[in-house]
Amino acid sequence: MSQEVVSSSQAPALSIPCTDSAGPHAERLEKLFPAEPASITREDGLVLYRDMVLGRRFEDKCAEMYYRGKMFGFVHLYNGQEAVSTGVIKAMRLQHDWFCSTYRDHVHALSCGVPAREVMSELFGKATGCSKGRGGSMHLFSREHHLLGGYAFIGEGIPVALGSAFTSRYKREALGDAGSDSVTAAFFGDGTCNIGQFFECLNMASLWKLPILFVVENNKWAIGMDHNRATSDPEIWRKAEAFGMPGEEVDGMDVLAVRAAAQRAIERARAGEGPTLLECLTYRFRGHSLADPDELRSSAEKEFWAKRDPIKALASRLVEHHLATAADLEALDREVDEEVNDCVEFALAAPEPDGEELTKYIWAED
């Protein structure tokens, strides 16, 4: 099979009819194109595809387990946004760079390399979970995989990510550690961009030229509030200019476009040139949480975005450019299904946390 390289610029020009049902998001998408296309090999393409499929199939299984009464509490799924997690995280150095998530954190954890068994166990509240059964859906954490946590309250993770980026620069410049060049990615939604922590952290990151990516997953809806009704300037990436940092908007349904933008931002950050605000225009295919009947969004809007499914788009591109065959992708689909089924069986059989360890991990231990 040919090892041809494919980039997002080689795909047909994006042509999206702007209808009232699609809204201003669609108008913005029409104008987007990567300044520098992301080029991938066959190996890269299959890694990206598998990661996105794992995220989608894992979340679908979460929905099944939730409705079967095996999973409790609030569960926020990521379906539709996979190109953002995969595009950013797989462009970074795993177990070297750092990542900070939100309450919609399952797929970020998987992209970081946290085993599916550990993520599913955590959602079941089991001792084998990545947070030892103490965090649940919104509080995934893994020091080993440099995942700094999921956070239930919006914006909580941004200052944590800022501290991580500060540590990287401090170790290099104050302590003389030449190998300290890690970059931190902070993920958050459009609704978070109207609160103080967002602006305060952008200011500090720019002032100190910290190696951080502020990744806005603009899925158009903050719970039930349309983004365009909630902010004076709906183009979030433009807010970077006020802090003297680069800002970029990208098609968050195109994993290669996201990857290209992330690579540019990572290169700047690692070179000591400071932060980037990256706004990814995306869409969640399910309601805000599994408890949300999702009655506020129109059927026409959902159908519009469903046609831009990021997994189907990448699959078509890989086949079109001879980087994979349909059989290759089907084999990966089966492999992922086996992994997801295995993680559920593992989590169901895993032990509950020991009640005598209720206060463990709350305080530092000798």
271-287 pLDDT, tens digit per residue, is: 999 999 999 999 999 99
User: How do residues 89-134 score in pLDDT, each as one tens digit?
Assistant: 999 999 999 999 999 999 999 999 999 999 999 999 999 999 999 9
- pLDDT value of position 360: 86
Q: Which residues contact 347 (CB under 8 A, 6 or more apart)?
A: 117, 120, 121, 123, 124, 126, 128, 129
Instruction: Give first-to-last CA distance, the chain, whole Å.
Output: 56
Query: Is 69 contained in some domain?
Result: yes
Tally of structural domains, the chain: 1
In a domain, 29, yes or no: no
Q: Does 14 fall in a domain?
A: no
Cα–Cα distance between 225 and 192 in angstroms, integer?
Answer: 12
- The answer to whether position 86 is within a domain reads yes
* pLDDT at residue 24 tops 90: no
Helix (H, G, I), strand (E, B) or coil at 220: coil
Which residue range forms the structural domain that includes residue 285? 55-347
Residue 1 has pLDDT above 60, yes or no: no
Question: Which CATH number do you get for residue 219?
Answer: 3.40.50.970
> Is pLDDT at 366 greater than 90 in this prediction?
no
Q: Is 108 exposed, middle or buried (0-12, 13-18, 19+ CB in 10 A)?
A: buried
- The beta strands (E) that lie in 68-201 are given as 98-100, 184-189
Mean pLDDT of 200-209: 98
Contacts for 91 with CB less than 8 Å, ≥ 6 apart: 259, 262, 263, 266
- Whether the predicted pLDDT of 237 surpasses 70: yes
Q: pLDDT tens digits, residue range 298-351?
A: 999 999 999 999 999 999 999 999 999 999 999 999 999 999 999 999 999 999
What global pTM score does this model have? 0.91
pLDDT in tens, 42-63: 999 999 999 999 999 999 999 9
Q: How confident is the model at residue 20 (pLDDT cuts 50, 70, 90)?
A: very low
pLDDT value at 216 more than 90: yes
Indicate the angle between helix axes 310-320 and 42-67, nearest 10 degrees.
150
Residue 232 lies in a domain: yes
| pLDDT at 27 (0 to 100) | 75
Q: Quick one: pLDDT at residue 204?
A: 98
Residue 14 has pLDDT above 90, yes or no: no
Q: What is the pLDDT of residue 363?
A: 84
Flag whether 20 is in a domain: no
- Do the domain assignments include residue 142? yes
What percentage of residues in the chain have a pLDDT greater than 70?
A: 92
> What pLDDT does 361 receive?
83
Element (H, E) at 114: none
Residue 241 within any structural domain of the chain:
yes
